[in-house]
Amino acid sequence: MAASAADGIAELAITSLLLNTRFRPFHLRQYDGFWLLEEFLMDVPAVHSVFEPRPSDVLLASFPKCGTTWLKAIVFATRNRAEHPPCDLNHPLRHGNPHDVVRYLEMAFAQSTDDSGAGDAFAALPSPRVVATHLPYSLLPRRITAEESGCRIVYICRNPKDAFVSSWFFAKKGAATVARARARADKDMDMQLQQPPPYTFEEAFELFCDGICVCGPQWRHEMGYWEMRRKRPEKVLFLRYEEMLRDP
């Protein structure tokens, strides 16, 4: 079997990867042709070494800002309909965010590659489990992508123009959050001094077109899952955001 980017993930040296700080306030590192958040990359080795998929698992995959929250709500409600019928006043989605009930693989792990299972935030969850990821298909653990794996994947794609605009507003909100956190950490400094440098819509557009964004480039992210859907339609369900809007 040919080696893939996922094979070398355990020995990943984050600081040796190409760094880009133009997509403020995030620091991106390039790996296997994708620009990924440093925070994502730091926990990916633990995902590969610790996470144990189950045949009944459903993995929700997406490029950022492409309808992930909506997809989480739909799949969680469908998968848990027997335990939590829509009329249930205590339904988890009535009292919480979809991100609370469907967690991201790359955000849920402690930074550990211990094979003992320590740090697996999903091990205690009852089956069937629904988990999410923004990782490209090529960086998913082989335990998920292997032919013998029963884990199913649901991928949602979106018009790049809409995904970009959504990511632009998300980045602006993120910059403000970072500024507030810095201000709280150093109350002696003026809030205005803590703000990241100006980040214009035009700059963001050029970066997005060059693929310099979280998990970018978008087209390559989507193509990875589309190719797997074409080769293994029984494993990968490929959804389009716009079609879901027209026919929920």
- Catalytic machinery residues: 134
Residues 155 and 229: beta-carbon distance below 8 Å:
yes
Calculate the dihedral angle through the C-alpha atoms of 134, 136, 142, 143, rounding to the nearest 10 degrees.
20
**Within a 10 A sphere around the Cβ of 232, how many other Cβ atoms?**
12
Neighbour tally for 104: CB within 10 Å: 20
CA distance 165 to 239: 20
Instruction: Describe the chain by its helix, strand, coil percentages, rounded to 5.
Output: 45, 15, 40
* Strand ranges of the sheet holding 58-62, from the earlier edge strand across to the other edge: 130-133, 58-62, 152-157, 236-240
Measured CA to CA, the distance from residue 63 to residue 221 in angstroms comes to 7
Radius of gyration of the chain (CA): 19
Strand 34-37 with 28-31, pairing:
antiparallel
Show the tokens assigned to 143.
């335990």
Distance, in Å, from the CA atom of 199 to the CA atom of 170, rounded to the nearest integer, reads: 12
Structure tokens given for 26 = 């995030």
Tokens 């797997």: give the residue. Answer: 228
Tokens 């653990």, residue located:
141
